[in-house]
């Protein structure tokens, strides 16, 4: 006999609260395992395809690990040092860029930058703050990141967790399926399949889009000769998963730097702007429809809300799990909406108790249109 619905609701509610409590108290300790599980989830389709090609699961994971190790070494030796160096240089040069931008505005809109105007005071305040605190803020951020995600976590724990989970991924999923409550197993499997479709469409697909766009923007800006082109392009690619935000953020930074750098060469400013316009055209009409599709169901506002809320509550771990949890919550909300639309609260008692094929009840006539039985012939 199945448990009453109220009892099941209590049990699942307690399980959800305990899960959130574990994330709250053990967030930093769970970080390498969350990253490892995410990497294993992303690479599981690759391992499945290698298995379908005739390799064993262990050999498939070994091939993936060697390729990942090679890419990591390339990033560690070539890309990451350049990004760190450009980040430091950009923060140091930013006050000078803002000063040049203020001179540009003063030459063309002198009335807006008169002594004592709000715009003039605002720009001066920002410039002074960056001169005095910019380097300090960057050093603090870098030192905090290094202390939080230490070298041991990146080099040892995350790869080990990823490899073990990737080897046992199919067996682990089968074991979880065996533990599902029998009465609800079909529904849970259907919901889990929808969640997997959403995650695979967004995380895997959009992650590939971010990588492609980051490489495109970085290479395009570097070929255009823009200062800090790799940094700006990489930043634009990272936030491409939020539609238009990556292009707007990267475009504003790139065009702002190009105005200062190519002051006397308007053609080069147009080239930099063209890199972002072309990137948006390719992303919106070719890359994203091909890799992500239209069935993801994650609205940009919902993503921003999830990142803000989970990041504020659970810190860096919250940022990592925000998108998967947002996808799961979105699927669950759609499921409960469908249940609501087939339930008594939405349809009403008469609709649920009416015999199949019976005509729908007609609405009652208004009081003024009703005939008194005593007056009937």
Q: Per residue of the chain (377 residues), give pLDDT as tens.
A: 456 667 777 777 888 788 777 767 776 677 778 778 888 888 888 899 999 998 899 999 999 999 988 988 887 787 777 877 777 777 777 777 777 766 766 666 665 555 656 555 555 665 555 555 555 555 555 454 445 455 556 677 888 888 999 999 889 989 988 888 887 788 889 888 888 887 777 777 778 888 899 999 999 999 988 888 888 888 888 888 776 777 788 888 888 888 878 877 888 888 988 998 898 888 878 887 777 665 455 677 777 788 788 877 776 667 767 777 787 888 888 888 888 888 777 777 666 666 555 555 555 444 444 455 444 44
Is the distance from CB of 279 to CB of 257 less than 8 angstroms?
no
Is 240 within 8 Å of 213 (Cβ atoms)? yes
Non-local (6+) Cβ contacts of 228 within 8 A are 86, 89, 90, 93, 257
Q: How far is C-alpha 112 from the geometric centre of its chain's CA atoms?
A: 39
The pLDDT tens digits of the residues spanning 316-341 come to 667 767 777 787 888 888 888 888 88
123-132: long-range contacts at Cβ-Cβ below 8 A with a sequence spacing of 24 or more? 123/98, 126/98, 127/95, 127/98, 127/99, 127/102, 130/91, 130/94, 130/95, 130/98, 131/95
| Cβ atoms 58, 167 nearer than 8 A | yes
b/e 295-334 (16+ beta carbons within 10 angstroms → b): ebebeeeebeebbeebbeebbebbebbbbbbbbbebbeee
Structure tokens at 34: 């969350």
**pLDDT confidence of residue 321:** 74
pLDDT at 16: 78
What pLDDT sits at residue 248? 83
DSSP 8-state secondary structure symbol assigned to residue 264: T
User: Can you give the pLDDT at residue 50?
Assistant: 92
Which tens digits make up the pLDDT trace of 4-26? Answer: 667 777 777 888 788 777 767 77
């Amino acid at each position: 006999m199945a448990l009453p619905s109220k009892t099941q609701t209590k049990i699942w509610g307690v399980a959800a609260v305990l899960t959130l409590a574990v994330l709250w108290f053990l967030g930093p300790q769970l970080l390498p395992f969350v990253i490892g599980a995410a990497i294993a989830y992303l690479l599981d389709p690759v391992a499945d395809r290698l298995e379908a090609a005739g390799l064993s699961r262990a050999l498939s994971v070994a091939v993936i690990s060697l390729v990942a190790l090679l890419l990591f070494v390339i990033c560690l030796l070539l890309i990451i040092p350049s990004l760190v160096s450009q980040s430091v240089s950009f923060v140091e040069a930013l006050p000078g860029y803002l000063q040049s931008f203020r001179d540009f505005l003063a030459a063309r809109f002198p009335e807006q930058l008169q002594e004592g105007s709000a715009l003039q005071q605002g720009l001066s305040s920002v410039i002074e703050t960056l001169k005095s605190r910019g380097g300090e803020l960057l050093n603090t951020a870098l030192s905090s990141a290094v202390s939080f995600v230490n070298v041991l976590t990146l080099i040892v724990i995350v790869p080990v967790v990823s490899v073990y989970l990737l080897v046992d991924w199919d067996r682990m999923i089968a074991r979880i399926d065996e533990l599902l409550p029998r009465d609800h197993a079909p529904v849970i499997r259907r919901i889990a399949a929808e969640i997997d479709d959403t995650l695979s469409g967004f995380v895997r697909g959009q992650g590939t889009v971010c990588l492609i766009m980051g490489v495109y923007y970085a290479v395009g800006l570097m070929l255009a000769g823009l200062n800090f082109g790799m940094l700006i392009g990489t930043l634009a690619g990272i936030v491409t998963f939020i539609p238009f935000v990556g292009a707007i953020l990267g475009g504003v930074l790139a065009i702002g730097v190009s105005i200062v750098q190519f002051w006397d060469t308007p053609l080069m400013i147009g080239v930099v702007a063209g890199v972002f316009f072309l990137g948006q055209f390719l992303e919106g009409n070719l890359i994203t429809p091909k890799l992500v599709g239209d069935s993801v169901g994650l609205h940009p506002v919902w993503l921003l809300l999830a990142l803000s809320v989970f990041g504020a509550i659970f810190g860096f771990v919250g940022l990592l799990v925000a998108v998967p949890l947002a996808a799961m919550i979105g699927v669950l909300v759609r499921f409960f909406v469908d249940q609501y639309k087939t339930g008594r609260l939405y349809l009403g008692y008469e609709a649920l108790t009416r015999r199949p094929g019976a005509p729908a009840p007609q609405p009652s006539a208004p009081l003024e249109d009703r005939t008194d039985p005593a007056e009937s012939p």
